[in-house]
Amino acid sequence: MKQLLMVTLSVFALLQLACYKDKGNYDYNVPAAPQVTNLDSLYGIPVGDTLVIKPTVTSANPDAKFGYTWRISLPKQFRDTTFSGYPFKFFFNLDADTYTVRLTLTDSSNGMSYFKEFKIQGLTQFTKGTLVLSQEGGKGQLSFVKPDSTVLPRIYQALHGTDLPGKPSQIIDLILQNYNPTPALGYWITCNETDDGGVHLNTNTLLQMKTLRQNFFTVPPAAKPGYLETSSAGVLRGVINSKLYIGAWQTYYGSTIYGYFGEPALGDYELYDRVAFNIAPYFVGYEKKLKKFVVFTNMGAVAYIGDGYQVTNTTAFDPKNVQLDLLHFQQINDNNCYAFGKAADGTLYELKFTPKFMGIVQVDPLYKRAFPQPALITANTKWAGSNSEEFYFTSGDKIYRYNPTNKDLKPLTTDFGGKAVTMIKLADDDNTLIAGVDGTVYFLDVSVGKNGEVFRKYTGIPGSPVDVTVKK
């Protein structure tokens, strides 16, 4: 037994010595990757056309011989399509969307594979341009402006053989953030004249996919929208039937039920049209019947907690007892909230407060004061707040810029020919103000040092514009 042990130890020692002395040369020369040129990151191709791509591949390896494999990912169909050969030649018969393509270069001289990715985007005449929602007589109209400024008026009517309902309100472009390539989830057009207050349109064809009532798991007898917006998940959220709704986002975006509404946040409340949505786990609304600010928590599911929040002080005003009929309500940069509203005696007030989440929701009232020029505010006034905490509002045929910090209030320079301004909307990181008057949409420069100079306009719009969205 001792002899066996000695032999084993001796063998182990020799192995250790051998490993210690082995300073073998294990250098491995990785072949230089080939250079790929003439390959863009994005290719646009009209639906029904053939896309041909001929990249140039060079290599320092004189023996290199490359094979080409192209894989197109089709996430909505849960599959890929793959083909080989050079060049890339593909008849585009897919939905007008954006797809990722992976090129695999395989060098048969050494078995090495290399990868490059690019995207292809199916195009229609509606892929890029400007949608304009307008009120013409008693009907809503949707028009499309091509990148060359050609106006296709009443395009919804032309495609569907009918007009939109009256009292059109919004165009909401559903955008799924932080997802590449960005999927085309469609537009929502909302109207306030009927009990089915919206239509969901395909982004690239503008054909109707469903109505607002059909966007519920359980179809309600009526769906009257307030102010709606797209969440970061690319679903609608906002006020419908005076209740708070958020579309279902917990499934795959290509699912037929993605974005559907379930039950609203439960509770006895009637909301003002607009809600402040925060990145933090709470939302702020205004109870229009009791005339006070209310909050919702969002800990995986939205819950109404009403006025069960903490108030730092009531010196400026009591957010649980506001007693104003709101005209506009907006939160800026997930920070300060502004509200403009009329008291029972007709006085127009401006309120500012800061909500915070500190394990509980806390509201810090900052001020309540009379608006500096209330005579400028009419029943038809439209509002738009910027991230710099400046506000734009309409008054007849003029647009005013108002800075609450210094109470500076002055008109923009644009002359609208005496026509009433029917819409305003900020765009391009608040450097552009889009305005509408009967028959025309204006793009105004409101960047630093500018006061609303016109740099583009579209004429031939049927009726009075109420909302605009630009697809670049």
Q: What CATH number is given to the structural domain containing 294?
A: 2.130.10
Instruction: Indicate if 147 and 93 belong to the same structural domain.
Output: no
pLDDT at 18 over 50: no
- pLDDT given for residue 412 in this prediction: 98
Structural domain includes residue 408: no
104: DSSP letter: E
Instruction: Indicate if 89 and 164 belong to the same structural domain.
Output: no
Q: Of 313, 344, 374, which one is at a domain's C-terminal end?
A: 374
Instruction: Indicate if 119 and 209 belong to the same structural domain.
Output: no
- Sorting pLDDT into bands at 50, 70 and 90, what band is 140? very high
- Sorting pLDDT into bands at 50, 70 and 90, what band is 20? very low
Q: Which residues contact 471 (CB under 8 A, 6 or more apart)?
A: 127, 128, 129, 130, 131, 173, 203
- Sorting pLDDT into bands at 50, 70 and 90, what band is 243? very high
Instruction: Indicate if 77 and 215 belong to the same structural domain.
Output: no
Instruction: Indicate if 226 and 134 belong to the same structural domain.
Output: yes
Q: Of 359, 374, 389, which one is at a domain's C-terminal end?
A: 374
Mean pLDDT across the chain, nearest whole number? Answer: 92
Instruction: Indicate if 213 and 106 belong to the same structural domain.
Output: no
Of 13-27, 142-156, 268-282, 447-461, least confident by mean pLDDT is 13-27
pLDDT at 48 over 90: no
Structural domain includes residue 14: no
Instruction: Indicate if 147 and 67 belong to the same structural domain.
Output: no
pLDDT tens for each residue of 85-133:
999 999 998 888 889 999 999 999 999 999 999 999 888 899 899 999 9
Instruction: Indicate if 138 and 107 belong to the same structural domain.
Output: no
Instruction: Indicate if 367 and 286 belong to the same structural domain.
Output: yes
Structural domain includes residue 424: no
Structural domain includes residue 78: yes
Structural domain includes residue 332: yes
pLDDT at 9 over 60: no
Say if residues 293 and 286 touch (Cβ distance below 8 Å). Answer: yes
CA angle, 298 then 353 then 299, to 5°: 5
Q: Stretch 10-34: mean pLDDT, rounded?
A: 57
Q: What is the pTM of this model?
A: 0.84
Instruction: Indicate if 279 and 184 belong to the same structural domain.
Output: yes
Instruction: Indicate if 245 and 357 belong to the same structural domain.
Output: yes
Q: Of 106, 123, 140, which one is at a domain's C-terminal end?
A: 123
* Distance of alpha carbon 362 from alpha carbon 339, whole angstroms: 17
Q: Stretch 223-246: mean pLDDT, rounded?
A: 97
Instruction: Indicate if 180 and 216 belong to the same structural domain.
Output: yes
Structural domain includes residue 46: yes
Q: Which domain holds residue 161?
A: 129-374
The total of structural domains in the chain comes to: 2
- pLDDT given for residue 127 in this prediction: 87
* Distance of alpha carbon 209 from alpha carbon 221, whole angstroms: 19
Structural domain includes residue 451: no
- pLDDT given for residue 183 in this prediction: 84
pLDDT at 15 over 80: no
- pLDDT given for residue 95 in this prediction: 83
Q: Stretch 207-236: mean pLDDT, rounded?
A: 96
Structural domain includes residue 405: no
